[in-house]
Chain A
Amino acid sequence: MGKRAKTSRKGKKAWRANISTEDIEDFFEKATKDALSGGNLSAAPSEDLFHVEKSHDIPVKRKIEKHRERVLRCDSVLKKNPFVQTVSSSKPKSKKSNKTIVIESKTPKQAQKDAGDDSVMVDLWADDSKGEHESKPRKIYKKTSTIPAVEVDPAGCSYNPTTESHEDMLAEAVAQEMQKVYKTELGPEPVPLTIEGDAINEDERYFLGVDNVSDGEDDAEVENEELEAGNKLARTTKRVTRVVLNKRSRQKELRKKETKEKYKEKISTEIDSLPNILEEIAREDEEKQNKLLRRTIAKQEVLKIRPPRLGKHKFEAPPVQVLLTEEMTGSLRKLKACCTLARDRFKSLEKRGILVPSKHIRRF
């Protein structure tokens, strides 16, 4: 901006009135705006600024039609669905006609026999390899436990065992029995159904617990008396003088100092023993790890002998099937064999965790 001719400079007002820069500023503003927006809009031709969109133009009439084409849900439900089979109210006739055809071809007995034949039996695993690709077997089909389905009896259970192994088995059987006996002997005595003595009267029954209650009240009274006595003693103590107070404060300060020092000492020793502490932590960690390992192993070991607890009752192992010494004859003909294999199977199912063990199976 160039210099203007000198005018009166008396006061700001006059100065302002004299010089007006508005137009210039306006111009500059406009120029920068145009430069930034890419040109003067008023100068540009209207074709550049607007154009008529013609690509997706739907006539109004069709739009309305489209709207009308929409089917209400209530109507669509009533329409026929190709995936849903219709249920006719009357019985289908096709069954009857089928039947007659069968009768024509052969007698029903023959037909039944045929059904039991090849036409039903197909090789399920004809495409084994394909089956492997198709579907992974479900995780469920993994065995529930590691116990084999058919556990082979130890050598001592042979019908004609060696004496050593037989004695071994006998010992085991005896141990099993004795365990039961000891359990009943050493366990808590069952509550007897009846006890000796006279029956208690209705009136006496009300007074049964009364004595005990009164005893409790007595105790409380005694305690109260003691407390009162303590209060009286407290009142009789000496008054605290200034000297004593000073002494106390001094001692307090001293104690504070001592504790501070002690704390310092402690920290220094701890810093010194830092490697020891680290070691201790490591040891503890290791112990924890070992404990965990031991526990898991123990659990697995237990699972080898008996199933997990699946229900209300525990699994009870069946007795060992072993011959008594006097029953050992060495002859297959005279063998006193086990005739309850069904129980063995049932127990095996329970042992493998497939069935839930229960106490009373048969309800009469």
Chain B
Amino acid sequence: MPKHYRPAGKKKEGNAARYMTRSQALKSLQVNLSLFRRLCIVKGVFPREPKKKVKGNHHTYYHVKDISFLQHEPLLEKFREIRTYQKKVLKAKAKKNEELARLLLTRQPTYKLDRLIRERYPTFIDALRDLDDCLTMVHLFAVLPASDRENLEVKRVHNCRRLSHEWQAYISRTHALRKVFVSVKGIYYQAELEGQKITWLTPHAIQQVFTNDVDFSVLLTFLEFYETLLAFINFKLYHSLNVKYPPILDSRLEALAADLYALSRYIDASSRGMTVEPKSDASSSSQSNDREESELRLAQLQHQLPSSEPGALMHIVADNNKEVEEDEETRVCKSLFKDLKFFLSREVPRESLLFVLPAFGGMVSWEGEGAPFKEDDESITHHIIDKPSAGHMYLSREYVQPQWIYDCVNARIILPTEKYMVGSIPPPHLSPFVDNEAEGYVPDYAETIKRLQAAARNDVLPLPGVGKEDLEDPQNLLYAGVMSRAEEAEAARNKKKMAELEKQYHEELKMELRGSAVDVAPVVEEVGEGEESVPDAANTQTAQDTSDMPTLLMSRKKRKLYEAMKKGQKKKSEAVEALEQRKKRLNAGQQ
């Protein structure tokens, strides 16, 4: 606490009064360091950097108000209570009173973080906004090995696993997944929930290790908070689907480690079968007995559903038509893999694909027990395989590498499968998180995808206004995959002209806004000239024009700003040029 009494003649003001070091904070809170760290993490109190570090640069500073905020936390008292209780247990053990120790251990006081979650995230949207870290952490700990040394129990790992699967099941059920990016670090997913973009990272399906440079006790404290948060969020989400939470899963599927599939079946069954009344059965014991029975019945019903029935996931797709709020993108995502049936080989990352494929409306099965349909099913359209060669090949289906799915998802179209055939090296996996337009450099494969997208769009909805950029019969060209040289050049010229006109228009608008009396006529004239002459020349001239005009009119401040902007643009273009040159060099080197 800040001292209320200040010795005469000693004024404490400014940074000295507003900030305190960590050890001061510990003293004033009367807690030990580990408890303080836990409390800070749970309450969301972080160190700050004061302007003047009164005690020196090697201290960590906290704001006085933050510390007083911690002091009023009821959890602090609870932690103290737990500590004294543990002392009791220790004492009993030291006295060799095993029975008492056991008895005491069974009645240990516990604490809950519900109130804190409500306090830190007053609205549901707030919680969703801050979910990135939470999801990544939970997904990470779901694959970590339980370890005594790091104090990571099996129960917690299982809980993380369950929570992550519940989240994935919800996302895939509502088709909220938007982007997937497979990087060396792991697989990035991006979903959109209630207008919030939630990005998370899941590790690859390999053994994760404990490293020495990581303080796992800190991470576990974070995890504790995040587990609670995600549980509440899942609760809310499941109830919005009219599904009971926590779900009761088919024990057979659970044993076969097909939790995600079991979950999706559960959601499907419960949202189809019964309407849950979450509020009514909250309190009394007689009612809870009834609930127990209904749960049992539900689980039995799930057993009765033939597990090899392929329709489980299809029902989800069919049901979703009923849901009211659906935006354009969700509809596109939902119907991407519609009517396609996938079969996963043993070596492909099953967890990830089981999540992604249903999220885009596909039906999946895998090699192993409990799968919805077998490998020899005739209706399978795509077989995902990651081996140099497949053994027995069915003619009725296409054999593709897993990257094809991720690329399709990111492009939102079904890409041609030739490049992703078994044994071949697939085209580069592009990041959907990079905005090519903003970056200025567009990789080759991105351009092909763009063309294919345009073609698909024209194919689906032949509107006159859509095909603005590819003016003359783009479909033939694009399906062929190659453009003849002349046509390509022409298209490019058209594009350039459009861009130029647009730019000029914007420039004029700007001028008008600025209220300067500039004659528009000469500019128009020059553009006319430009169109007649070589486009490049026109480009430079107009550019010069536009660059001269503002410099004359603008104030110095604005001019400087403008110059800075120019510099930035130049830098960017130089970077792009370097990339292109590098590519040229590479090509030359290959030939």
Contacts and interface: CB of A to CB of B under 8 A. Distances in A.
A165 interface: yes
Given A150-B136, A155-B431, A332-B386, A361 B426 contact: no
Interface size class of B (residues with CB under 8 A): 35 or more
B184 A321 contact: yes
A163 B184 contact: no
Interface in A84-131: 105-106, 110, 114, 116-119, 121-125, 128, 131
A141 B428 contact: no
B461 interface: no
Given A162-B445, A331-B401, A338 B46 contact: no
A321 B208 contact: no
A140 B428 contact: no
Contacts of A345: 133, 136-137, 140, 219
Interface in A267-317: 308-312
B433 A361 contact: no
Contact of A128 (B117, B123, B246, B429): B123
B219 A332 contact: no
A362 B212 contact: yes
A339 B209 contact: yes
Interface string A158-174: 11111111011000000
A141 B206 contact: no
B184 A105 contact: no
A125 B123 contact: yes
B348 interface: yes
Interface string A325-358: 0000111110111111111111011000111101
Contacts of B285: 105-106
Interface string B520-532: 0000000000000
A281 B349 CA distance: 69
Contacts of B183: 153, 157-159, 321
B214 interface: yes
Given A119-B282, A150-B200, A343-B213, A338 B184 contact: yes
B358 interface: no
B29 to A, nearest CB: 16
A165 B443 contact: yes
A310 B58 contact: no
Of A154, A165, A336, the most chain B CB neighbours within 10 A belong to: A165
Of B122, B210, B441, the most chain A CB neighbours within 10 A belong to: B122
B408 interface: no
A102 to B, nearest CB: 9
A138 interface: yes
Contact of A341 (B44, B122, B185, B288): B185
Nearest to A125: B124
Of A121, A122, A309, the most chain B CB neighbours within 10 A belong to: A121
B47 interface: yes
Nearest to B37: A355
B147 to A, nearest CB: 12
B46 to A, nearest CB: 5
B122 A137 contact: yes
A134 B185 CA distance: 42
Nearest to B122: A131
Contacts of B140: 341-342, 345
A336 B204 CA distance: 10
Contact of A121 (B58, B231, B402, B583): B231
A39 interface: no
A181 interface: no
B201 A150 contact: yes
Nearest to B130: A149
Contacts of B188: 150, 152-153
Contact of B211 (A308, A337, A343): A343
A152 B431 CA distance: 9
B579 A124 contact: no
A141 B210 contact: no
Interface string B41-53: 1001111110000
B144 A342 contact: yes
Nearest to A355: B218
A219 interface: no
Contacts of B241: none
A135 interface: yes
A185 interface: no
A342 B231 contact: no
Interface stretch (B79-87, B232-240, B315-323, B448-456): B232-240
B479 interface: no
B473 interface: no
A125 B127 CA distance: 10
Contacts of A152: 181, 188, 199, 431, 433
A354 to B, nearest CB: 5
B44 A124 contact: no
B73 interface: no
B132 interface: yes
Contact of B222 (A160, A308, A349): A349
Nearest to A110: B292
A163 B114 CA distance: 49
Given A119-B288, A150-B132, A159-B183, A310 B429 contact: no
Contacts of B393: none
Given A150-B136, A152-B188, A311 B124 contact: no
Contacts of B47: 310-311, 353, 356
Interface in B125-152: 126-127, 130, 132-133, 136-137, 140, 144
Nearest to B40: A354
B58 A340 contact: no
A154 B431 contact: yes
Nearest to A160: B429
A158 B426 contact: no
B582 A164 contact: yes
B203 interface: yes
A87 B245 CA distance: 40
A185 B458 CA distance: 60
A82 B286 CA distance: 36
Given A124-B118, A164-B583, A340-B208, A333 B386 contact: yes
B207 A339 contact: yes
Contacts of A121: 231-232, 235, 245-246
Interface string B230-261: 01100110010000111000000000000000
A92 to B, nearest CB: 14
Given A331-B386, A332-B386, A337-B206, A157 B57 contact: no
Interface in B436-470: 441, 443-445
Nearest to A126: B236
B236 A123 contact: yes
A155 B430 contact: yes
B69 interface: yes
Nearest to B208: A339
Of B201, B222, B281, the most chain A CB neighbours within 10 A belong to: B201
Given A150-B136, A157-B183, A331-B386, 19 more contacts: A122-B114, A125-B236, A140-B45, A148-B199, A154-B431, A155-B431, A157-B185, A158-B428, A312-B58, A322-B184, A332-B182, A338-B185, A341-B140, A342-B140, A342-B216, A342-B219, A345-B140, A355-B218, A361-B214
7 contacts: A116-B246, A123-B239, A125-B127, A125-B236, A337-B186, A345-B136, A346-B213
Closest 10 CB pairs of A and B: A308-B49, A149-B133, A337-B204, A330-B425, A155-B431, A149-B132, A125-B124, A162-B428, A312-B58, A160-B429
Interface of B: 41, 44-49, 57-61, 66, 69, 114, 117-118, 120-124, 126-127, 130, 132-133, 136-137, 140, 144, 181-186, 188, 199-201, 203-204, 206-216, 218-219, 222, 231-232, 235-236, 239, 244-246, 278, 281-283, 285, 288-289, 291-292, 347-349, 386-387, 401-403, 425-426, 428-431, 433-434, 441, 443-445, 579, 582-583, 586
Interface of A: 105-106, 110, 114, 116-119, 121-125, 128, 131-132, 134-135, 137-138, 140-141, 144, 148-150, 152-155, 157-165, 167-168, 308-312, 321-323, 329-333, 335-346, 348-349, 353-356, 358, 361-362
